[in-house]
Chains A and B, each alone.
Chain A
C-alpha cells in the first residue's frame, strides 16, 4: 500500500508539470491578447505596452513559465489583474463552491446509479431492466446544459419551486433549494454511467462459477448478492473516481447557467478574458484534484478487492 502511494505521488509530479506546461503553451497560442480587456479599445501603443510590461507578456515563453512555476512552488499563484484579486483567493472560493456541488452531485448520482444498476442487474431482461436501460441511455445522451435550461424553465421560471441560480448557504433550507436544480443537471451523467457499469458488473458476476458455489453452500440470496456486489463494485469505483474528479473540476455549462460560482465558471471566465494566471492556477488545482481522487480510488479498491491489493503490492 505504501509503495502504491509513493508510486502514485511520483507519477503525479510530472503529470502536474506536464499539464501546466501544455496549458501555458495553449494559452499563449490561442488568439486574443490578455491585455485587451484591460485597456480601452483605442489605447495608444504606449498605454498598451505599459500593461504588457506589468503582466510580463513580452518575456520569452520559457522565462515566463519558469517564473510562474517557481512562484507556484512557493504557494504564490499570482494576482489576476482582470479580477484584481489574488489567484489563490479566487481558487479557494471557487473550489469550495464546486466541492459542495460536486459532493452532493456525486452522492446523489452514484447512489441513484448504484440502486438503478443493482435493480437492473438483478432483473436482467425484465421490463424494469429495460426501463432503467432507457433512462440511463437518456442520461448519457441528454446534454447537461440542455437539461439545465429545461429544469430552469420548468421549476424556476414556471413553477417557481426553486431559485434559478446562485450558491446560497445562509440556512439549510436555502442551501438545499439552491442545490436541487444544479445537482439534478450535473449528476445525470454520473447516475447514468454508474447505473450501466453497476448493471454490467452484476450481470457479469452473477454468471461466475463462484455464485453457484455460494448457493450450493446454502447461503441465503441476500448473502449471495452481498458477495456479488462486492465483486462487481470494483469497476464502479473506478468510474466513480473519474466522475468525482470531473465534478470537482467544475462543470462550465451547469455552473454558468445556474450562476454557481465554482471552478467551471471561474475557468470559463478566465479563458474568455485570457486571464492566464487564473487559467494556470485553476488547471493546476483541477489536475491535482484528479490525481488525489484517483489515488484515493486506487487505495479504496485495494482495500476492498484483494486481487487489486495483490497486483500493486
Chain B
C-alpha cells in the first residue's frame, strides 16, 4: 500500500493544493497505443477474501450494465466484465482516462465520426468461449437493435447514455470492429468504458430474463454466488488476460445504514466499509483502521431553477447565495470529509478555469448583492428540494441545515423539501418547469463533476441531441457552444481548453451553488493491502489483498 495514501483529513486538504498541477490528462486521442495491461502475476496465490459493506440498498444485479449506480459499476461491473476501454484507476496521481481494455488500440478518423477498434486476441469469457468481433457486435445489437433476437429492452434503457452516439457497427475481421457515430464526437472511447461485454453463448443459453443468475464476462473475477438482496461472491479468474488478481474472493453485502456498516467493519465481518458516519472516523483511526480520503471529481452542486424568477435573469441573486455559503463551516460539520468548492470541478482538474477564483464566504458582499438583486432581508423564501440519502450524496440532512442557517444570515429563508432519491431522479427527467415540481427554487445535485467529459451534457447543455431533458432550465448559448466545440476537438488539450471556457462561464454566471467537493470517505481494516484510492468512483481490485480475511 502506498504509505502517503493514509493521512489525516487536514493532510489531504494540504496536499490538494500541492498536487493540483499534477492532475492533468495527457496523451493524444487519435491513436491510442497498445498495452498489455498490468498483470499481477499471482497465479494460484492466496490474496485472501475481501468482504465489502456497500452503501447500496441491494446487491447490484450483474447485467450489462448493472444497476445501483456507480457502486454497481465499481463492485460488480468492472470485476465481472471488461469494456473496450478502461480507466487507469490503479494510480492515484492523475485523473483517470480511458486506456486500452478489450480493445488493444483504436483509431479515430479525422472527422471524428469513425472509430476503428482493434480487439485484444486470446481473451476468453469465463465460460471459455472467445471474445472477438462477433461478441462486440452481439452486445451492441442487444443494446441498439430492437429487431435482434436477444435485444434487451432493460439493458438498452439503462445503457442508453453510453450507446447514444453510436450510429452503425461493422465487423472488419475477427479482431477489428468499426463504429460510426451519429455526429462529430470525440468521446466515444469514454462512452465505451461502460459498455460491458457478456458471453454471447451464455446469453443465448439462458436468455435475457435469466441471464443475471448466470452472468458471465471476461473480467478479473467470476460470479460464483449471487443471492439477490443478500450477497454476491466473486472468485478470481485464473485466466484473466491481464494476469490473475491477488484476491481469492470478493464478497459483497448491501447495507444502506451507515451505523450498520460501521458495526460490520468493527465486528470483523467485512474489511471494507463504504462511507461510514464521519463522526466515527477518529475512533476508527485510533483503532488502527485505514481511513482513506482523497480528492476526486464528485461534489454537491445544487441547481437553480432557471425557468422562472427569482433566479432567471438575476445574476446578482445567484451570486449572493454563493457568497453566503460558509463552506468551511459545512466541511467542519461533516468532520472534513469534504472541502469547499470553488468551481463545479475541483481545483487541479483539467477543466478547471484557471483564472476564476469562484466565490468566497463573504456575508457583507452577499447582502449587498441581494439588495442589488432587488430583495431585502426577509423578502425571499426559497423552496429547496433535496434528497435525504442515496449513494454518493454525502450527508444531506446536516449540510442542508447548515445551508439554511447560512442563507438566513443574509435574510433569505429556506423551506426544506426532503425527498427520496427516486423522486430527485424523476425531477431530472420531468424538469423543474413541470407542474409537479415548479414550486422548487433550488434542487440538490450530486454530480460526478468532471469524472467523465460525457457527464457535462446532462447538467450544462440547453439544446441537446434527441431532446434530452434540461432539468433546471440552464440556457446559455456560450455554454452550449463551448461544450459542443469541446466534443468536436481531436486533441485532448483543445477539449479541455473549451471545457475550461465553459466552466469559467458557468462560474461567472453562478449557474450553480458551488458548494462542497467530496473526499470519497472509505474505511478498510488493517489487513487490507494494495488498495489505491483513485480520483474516480471506480477502483482497481486486482492489486488488493486481504491477509486476515
Contact A51 B267 (CB under 8 A): no
Contact B469 A42 (CB under 8 A): yes
The residues of A that contact B153 with a CB separation of less than 8 Å are 50-51, 54
Contact A46 B466 (CB under 8 A): yes
Asked if B58 lies at the interface with its beta carbon under 8 angstroms from chain A, I say yes
Q: Identify the interface centre among A35, A84, A160: most chain B CB within 10 Å of its CB.
A: A84
For chain A, give the interface size range. Answer: 35 or more
Contact B263 A32 (CB under 8 A): no
Instruction: Select the stretch in B232-240, B358-366, B405-413, B425-433 that faces chain A.
Output: B425-433
List 3 A-B pairs, minimum CB-CB distance, nearest first. Answer: A157-B266, A44-B466, A42-B458
| 12 A-B contact pairs sorted by A residue (CB < 8 Å) | A32-B422, A32-B425, A33-B429, A38-B158, A39-B160, A50-B153, A81-B154, A153-B259, A156-B263, A164-B260, A259-B230, A261-B229
- Per-residue 0/1 for B169-182: is the Cβ within 8 Å of any A Cβ (1 yes, 0 no)? 00000000000000
Asked if B380 lies at the interface with its beta carbon under 8 angstroms from chain A, I say no
Within the complex, the shortest CB–CB distance from A37 to chain B, in Å, comes to 6
Q: Identify the interface centre among B156, B269, B428, B429: most chain A CB within 10 Å of its CB.
A: B429
> What is the bound-complex CA distance between A94 and B229, given in angstroms?
9
Chain A's closest residue to B211 (CB) is A84
> What is the bound-complex CA distance between A160 and B264, given in angstroms?
10
Interface residues of A in 1-40 (CB under 8 A from B): 31-33, 35-40
The residues of B that contact A307 with a CB separation of less than 8 Å are none
The residues of B that contact A44 with a CB separation of less than 8 Å are 160, 164, 465-468
Known pairs A165-B269, A257-B257 / 17 extra A-B pairs, C-beta < 8 Å? A38-B157, A39-B157, A39-B158, A40-B160, A41-B429, A41-B458, A44-B465, A44-B467, A47-B157, A79-B209, A83-B61, A157-B262, A158-B266, A164-B263, A165-B263, A256-B257, A257-B259
Q: How many chain B residues touch the partner (CB < 8 A)?
A: 54
Which one of A31, A43, A167, A259 contacts B157 once the chains associate, using CB atoms below 8 Å? A43
Contact B467 A36 (CB under 8 A): no
Contact A43 B160 (CB under 8 A): yes
Asked if B254 lies at the interface with its beta carbon under 8 angstroms from chain A, I say yes
> What is the bound-complex CA distance between A164 and B51, given in angstroms?
14
A contact residues vs B (CB 8 Å cutoff) = 31-33, 35-48, 50-51, 54, 79, 81-85, 90, 93-94, 149, 152-153, 156-158, 160, 163-167, 256-259, 261, 265-266, 269, 272-274
> What is the bound-complex CA distance between A44 and B156, given in angstroms?
13
> What is the bound-complex CA distance between A50 and B144, given in angstroms?
13
- Per-residue 0/1 for B479-521: is the Cβ within 8 Å of any A Cβ (1 yes, 0 no)? 0000000000000000000000000000000000000000000
Contact A259 B260 (CB under 8 A): yes
Asked if B124 lies at the interface with its beta carbon under 8 angstroms from chain A, I say no
Interface residues of B in 115-151 (CB under 8 A from A): none
Asked if B45 lies at the interface with its beta carbon under 8 angstroms from chain A, I say no
Within the complex, the shortest CB–CB distance from A47 to chain B, in Å, comes to 5
Contact B426 A36 (CB under 8 A): yes
> What is the bound-complex CA distance between A48 and B158, given in angstroms?
10
> What is the bound-complex CA distance between A167 and B228, given in angstroms?
13
Which one of B161, B262, B426 contacts A32 once the chains associate, using CB atoms below 8 Å? B426
Asked if B255 lies at the interface with its beta carbon under 8 angstroms from chain A, I say yes
Chain B's closest residue to A94 (CB) is B229
Given contacts A40-B158, A84-B154, contact A258 B430 (CB under 8 A): no
Within the complex, the shortest CB–CB distance from B456 to chain A, in Å, comes to 10
Interface residues of B in 452-470 (CB under 8 A from A): 457-458, 464-469
Chain A's closest residue to B422 (CB) is A32
Interface residues of B in 207-246 (CB under 8 A from A): 209, 212, 227-231
Contact B422 A43 (CB under 8 A): no
The residues of A that contact B231 with a CB separation of less than 8 Å are 166
Given contacts A42-B468, A152-B259, contact A51 B57 (CB under 8 A): no
The residues of B that contact A46 with a CB separation of less than 8 Å are 466-467
Given contacts A40-B161, A166-B230, A258-B260, contact A272 B266 (CB under 8 A): no
The residues of A that contact B266 with a CB separation of less than 8 Å are 156-158, 160
Asked if B420 lies at the interface with its beta carbon under 8 angstroms from chain A, I say yes
Contact A84 B256 (CB under 8 A): no
Q: Identify the interface centre among A50, A149, A261: most chain B CB within 10 Å of its CB.
A: A261
Which one of B227, B255, B267, B469 contacts A156 once the chains associate, using CB atoms below 8 Å? B267
Within the complex, the shortest CB–CB distance from A92 to chain B, in Å, comes to 12
> What is the bound-complex CA distance between A50 and B458, given in angstroms?
20
Within the complex, the shortest CB–CB distance from A220 to chain B, in Å, comes to 51
> What is the bound-complex CA distance between A153 and B261, given in angstroms?
11
Contact B212 A84 (CB under 8 A): yes
Within the complex, the shortest CB–CB distance from B442 to chain A, in Å, comes to 17
Contact A152 B158 (CB under 8 A): no
Which one of B157, B164, B428 contacts A41 once the chains associate, using CB atoms below 8 Å? B428
Contact A165 B61 (CB under 8 A): no
Given contacts A41-B458, A160-B268, contact A165 B426 (CB under 8 A): no
Contact A257 B422 (CB under 8 A): no
Within the complex, the shortest CB–CB distance from B181 to chain A, in Å, comes to 16
The residues of A that contact B464 with a CB separation of less than 8 Å are 42
Within the complex, the shortest CB–CB distance from A162 to chain B, in Å, comes to 8
Given contacts A32-B426, A163-B267, contact A50 B157 (CB under 8 A): yes
Asked if B63 lies at the interface with its beta carbon under 8 angstroms from chain A, I say yes
Within the complex, the shortest CB–CB distance from B159 to chain A, in Å, comes to 8
Contact B157 A51 (CB under 8 A): yes
The residues of B that contact A274 with a CB separation of less than 8 Å are 422
> What is the bound-complex CA distance between A81 and B61, given in angstroms?
11
The residues of A that contact B257 with a CB separation of less than 8 Å are 256-257
Given contacts A41-B458, A50-B157, A165-B264, contact A273 B467 (CB under 8 A): no
- Per-residue 0/1 for B245-286: is the Cβ within 8 Å of any A Cβ (1 yes, 0 no)? 000000001111101101111111100000000000000000
Given contacts A42-B469, A85-B228, A273-B422, contact A256 B256 (CB under 8 A): yes
Within the complex, the shortest CB–CB distance from B515 to chain A, in Å, comes to 19
Contact A153 B161 (CB under 8 A): no
The residues of B that contact A272 with a CB separation of less than 8 Å are 57, 420-422
The residues of B that contact A35 with a CB separation of less than 8 Å are 429
Asked if B423 lies at the interface with its beta carbon under 8 angstroms from chain A, I say yes
Contact B161 A266 (CB under 8 A): no
